[in-house]
Structure 1
């Protein structure tokens, strides 16, 4: 989520006032505020835990921090722009760092995580003179990782900008260069790719694979221009984007080279080896393996590695947001490859179509425990008599293939293999019109599934235009929104009225899951429902829940502070579920969403109760806003 302009300005000012950080190169200094996590610390509240202070570098932007001894007596104070953590100011036994209780507004601290810090030191090695602990801790890992092996390298990409991954200046050639000359240059420079640039414009990309497959294997005349074998208009990344987004792009599109741009200018190239190591549970290489498979059995074997991938991500401390995107990228790759195999078997599609994911796959929030929700939007040239059998066969092939890979058939049959959910665009437009205009219970249930959609393969324009039309309708549809709110309030956080055994947490009272909390339906789904209502009310096209919440603050649906609280609650609940499932996977058990509170520490239970409290409070606010509009 972007920082508020006032906060960004304050961070920039603090950086330029700091005696050490102010000496960073101007370019680095200008980009750094956007890479920092801001922590608004209330007066008297603790600042960071032991791990944060050991591995992260904090900058006091506003306010004052005070050291407190074990008996509560105050010690020395640190005022802006002091820095903390990463070996410069870390707590001794019994000491705690708190925001000054005498300052009403508390303190604002900007944090650079270990990956951002490592990237800074790589670009400005002199920082090691002031931050030796950051350098020595870079490869040490956490205690949790010690028993599971080193963390996935791509986890350090969460906030590392693409700029930090570029290893050398770009190797470029004009598009008219001969194929032979391009190959000779690649050999001389010992690179696996070159960029085709002329007049400052990027025309294409040529890799050693292109030379083998498109030139040598085809017996092509090597005096022809290299643009003839190039990937024209390749996918690119901007230099300031996080490396994590490059990882996802490579995984989803089965590519291993991505040009990096600085605005419209070519800045360099990054490869798959720059963002991850080649091991079997790495997202990029697992996706690459998926695209190499020619049989369903091969895809099933690849899909079996997803459970290990999630376990590894959990052990390495990946955020739930990142884990959801990575796991979903693998589902996207499996879906795309199944469609390719289906078309290879059945022949090319007779009319354009979009294969559309719904639910958690659309939101990029999948875990190892996911079923499938999908549909097909067909071009209006579709004719049931002429084309029906083809698309039914293709949809059944893909849905059955996903089921074989572990994504079970949707119990409600909300899949493209169901005739109702495989229709021309005009029929889908009528579906959505009825759901908005007549919000009866079934329509509301379907809305919760099919308003969270994303194109996986095919013609994205078929969905994009449809979503634009629908969001234009929902923005002013007060009755529809009121019914959506009522439907959202059916999922309530499990907070009891009395203390009880677990301090106010209410568990399931009977049945197979007695004594547990359903983290999905009573914790995560309520947040998803709130974010969906905010997006529909604002007419915003974001699909991921975190992204919807970010835009909700911008559109004024809820306050920035409420967004901050709700996103933190969602991250905590989702991470709790992922760790719970990882423990089950490690024990050889099927993953589920049912957590026993006694698995948690007292501290974690208090955090869980606080997270549920945030959700419940915002449910009540939304319910009051639309009270009286439902009929």
Structure 2
């Protein structure tokens, strides 16, 4: 029977042939009936237990009332006792169970001679995720995680403002570049080969004309240390083909340029091609065909091992492009200067991957009269529905007059919700707090966000009440192992995603952070010392895992409303192990929130 032991599961997949033989030679197999206690509390540990068949419950060894977790096929349990010497809790069979037991002496021997084996049992969620990746794995995710460094930046010529068209053209030819940076009294400006061509041929300017007036001075830039992926997102969002790179150590020093062609040679995701198709769509039919390609892009990204955090940022950007295109087609240009289309909820946080329900609204400039607002917004909403952007349960959309109105009415409405913090109103505040400008006069979105932050953060009692929903759902650690019961599905949204998103949102509210993305909020909270860096890193990894599991389930064809219920029976032991660790992180975070906001778990 030990010969059938599964060495494909981490960390046993790190063992050499001789180490595997050591395991086989020393592995014991034990049979237990329903109700048998495999490990007594406060007793010396005998070794590592791995379940071959059955279900084991971890519980308080004194009164048996507190249940901590369940374990099933391929799960390991009572790991902490291997380092403490004695078992803290009791482990009892819930059905007939067969267990492997690796003696402690063998475990210690493997730990002393195999660093990766030992590290698996001593690391947090961040490191465990890394250890579970196969060594030598080469996929697109490695390129996406590459950072901007001097060796992957293209050179950029910097020329004086009084240089002529002829001189700059000659420089570009000699240096084999298609752009240059113009240094003038207005700062730096970008000049491309296309600009020179238009000036010479279409405008018929003299080749002796100074180039200062031809440059574009509103530069989009990145700096060393940023992700290449983020540079690509900027290009997609602003519909440009190059960004200037500054030195992160010397912010006013230009190091070079990154072009779209150069990045796409590293990031072959076809996302920018899709963005171009969206931008060039002439009618609803063209746009619909482009939108239908989003699912194919998601499939390609997941197949290439891209993390859900990056997929969500990229897809959110493309969703913005689609909605902006529809907005441009329905709203006259002169009106766009007086209103701002905003995303809220998961779309506002840049965490929405699939089309599905979309929370979005329109902020109109105070004292601006637009009589055609309601019929225009309803027509726009109807087109978005036809593209697959269905309204959310609360009808948070521009087709609902409640979500398309002047700025002052948005603020007054928000203030009423703050003064009456019912569960429904807290949910509405959570939606609008994650606001993000998409099209039109973006300053209106920024103004609303800043004024709303001042309204909310000064009301400490409201912030405490706002935090409570993050604690109302129990962390579902005891669901593990109940694979034969009808209720073996785990509500990943309530038990994992929501507590992190809501808790981090409450901390951002308290700290007045003008950020909407949960991952960015976590990073900033850690940077400001509000969150311990270790907890922050584990929170980000846990949220990323939850989103990944949800996406995989939806990708498999289950896109029903209850798709957030995760079927544990379809997941391997290593996946359940990561999930269990992630849920422990959630539990620890909720305990932190209780202490930080002086709350009691309801």
Is TM-score (shorter-chain normalized) higher than 0.5? yes
Aligned mates of 2:297, 2:104 — CA distance in 1: 42
The answer on whether the counterparts of 2:594 and 2:600 sit within 8 Å (CA) in structure 1 is no
How much does 1:418 deviate? 1.8
- Tell me, in whole angstroms, the C-alpha distance in 2 between the residues paired with 1:410 and 1:399: 12
Equivalent of residue 272 in structure 2, options 259, 262, 284: 284
Q: Secondary structure at the match of 1:433?
A: helix
1:615 paired residue number: 586
State which of 343, 360, 365 in structure 1 corresponds to 2:346.
360
Equivalent position to 2:107, from 67, 72, 76: 72
Query: Which residue of the partner structure matches residue 423 of structure 2?
Result: 441
Which residue of structure 2 lines up, in the alignment, with residue 593 of structure 1? 564
- Which residue pairs with 1:259 in the alignment? 244
1:414–1:421 Cα contact (<8 Å) kept:
yes
Q: Which of 287, 293, 296 is 1:299 aligned to?
A: 287
- The aligned residue for residue 309 of structure 2 is 321
Q: Deviations over 1:509-547 (max 9, x none)?
A: 4xxxxx543433443122211111111122222211122
**1:561, distance to aligned residue in structure 2 (A):** 3.4
Deviations 1:551-592 (A, max 9, x none): 33455554433323322211211122223333439xx99994
Cα gap change, 1:99/1:399 in structure 2, threshold over 3 Å: closer, same or farther? same
Match of 1:57 in 2: none
Secondary structure in structure 2 of the residue aligned to 1:206: strand
1:136-285 pair list within 5 angstroms: 141-142=137-138, 151-152=139-140, 156-167=143-154, 169-198=155-184, 202-212=187-197, 216-262=201-247, 263-277=251-265, 281-285=269-273
Q: 2:279 touches 2:325 (CA, 8 Å); kept in 1?
A: yes
Which residue of structure 2 aligns with residue 56 of structure 1?
none
Q: How far apart are the structure 2 equivalents of 1:589 and 1:278? A: 36
**Structure 1 residues 99-132: Cα deviation after superposition (integer angstroms, max 9, x where no partner):** 599xxx9899999x9xxxxxxxxxxxxxxxxxxx
- The equivalent residue for 1:604 is 575
* Post-superposition CA distance 1:572-626 (Å, at most 9, x none): 11122223333439xx999943432111012212322332233234335535665
Partners of 1:532 and 1:109 in 2: CA distance:
22
Are 1:549 and 2:549 counterparts?
no
Aligned partners of 1:338, 1:176: CA distance in 2, in Å? 42
**Contact kept? 2:337, 2:441, Cα under 8 Å:** no
Q: What is the rounded CA distance, in whole Å, between the counterparts of 1:205 and 1:431 in structure 2?
A: 44
2:389 matched to which residue of 1?
407
- Residue 349 of structure 1 and its aligned partner are, at CA, apart by 1.1
- Corresponding pairs, count: 500
**1:328·1:365 contact (CA, 8 Å) conserved in 2?**
yes
Superposed, 1:24-39 pairs within 5 Å as none
How far apart, CA to CA, are the structure 2 residues paired with 1:424 and 1:463?
11
Q: State how far apart, in whole Å, the 2-side matches of 1:214 and 1:155 are.
A: 42
Note closer, same or farther for the CA distance 1:254–1:481 as it changes in structure 2 (3 Å cut): same
Q: Tell me: CA distance 1:395–1:230, structure 2 relative to 1, closer, same or farther (3 Å).
A: farther
Relative distance call for 1:181 and 1:536 in structure 2 (3 A) is same
Q: 2:456 — aligned with what?
A: 474
Question: Which one scores higher on RCO, CA 8 angstroms, separation ≥ 6?
Answer: 2
Equivalent runs, 1:462-611 vs 2, <5 Å: 462-496=444-478, 500-501=482-483, 509=487, 516-555=489-528, 557-584=530-557, 592-611=563-582
Does the CA-based 8 Å contact 2:396-2:403 persist in structure 1? yes
Q: CA deviation at 1:472?
A: 2.6
1:425 aligned to 2:407? yes
Residue number in structure 2 paired with 1:395: 377
State the 1:451 CA deviation: 0.6
**Structure 1 runs, 4 residues or longer, greater than 6 Å off:** 46-49, 75-78, 105-111, 588-591, 627-631
Larger of the two Rg values belongs to structure = 2
**Helix, strand or coil for the counterpart of 1:258?**
strand
CA contact (8 A) 1:494 1:612 kept: yes
**1:556–1:258 Cα change, 3 Å:** closer
- 1:426 deviates by 1.4
Tell whether the 8 Å contact from 1:479 to 1:630 is kept in structure 2 after alignment. Answer: no
**Greater mean deviation of Cα atoms: 284-293 or 394-403:** 394-403
Partner of 2:357: 371
Q: CA deviation at 1:328?
A: 0.8
CA RMSD of aligned residues (A): 4.0
CA distance 1:221–1:464, shift in 2 (3 Å): same
Query: Which structure 2 residue ranges, 5 or more long, are not aligned?
Result: 1-9, 16-102
Residue in 2 that maps onto 1:98:
118
Q: Secondary structure at the match of 2:213?
A: helix
Q: Deviations over 1:157-196 (max 9, x none)?
A: 32322433213x3123323333344334334433222221
C-alpha spacing 1:108/1:607, structure 2 compared with 1 (3 Å): closer
Note the C-alpha offset of 1:225: 3.1
Does the CA contact (< 8 Å) of 1:399 and 1:416 recur in 2? yes
Partners of 2:479 and 2:266 in 1: how far apart? Answer: 52
SS in 1 for 2:277: helix
SS of alignment partner, residue 349 of structure 1: helix
Question: 2:126, 2:541 within 8 Å by CA — same for their partners in 1?
Answer: no
Task: Give the Cα separation in 1 of the matches to 2:537 and 2:214.
Answer: 49
Per-residue deviation, 1:458 = 2.6
Q: Residues 397 and 437 (structure 1 numbering): CA distance in 2 closer, same or farther, change over 3 Å? A: same
Change (3 A) 1:523 1:467: same
CA contact (8 A) 1:259 1:269 kept: yes
Residues 362, 543 of structure 1: 8 Å contact kept: yes
| Cα pair distance change 1:197/1:285, threshold 3 Å | farther
Q: Equivalent residue for 1:24? A: none
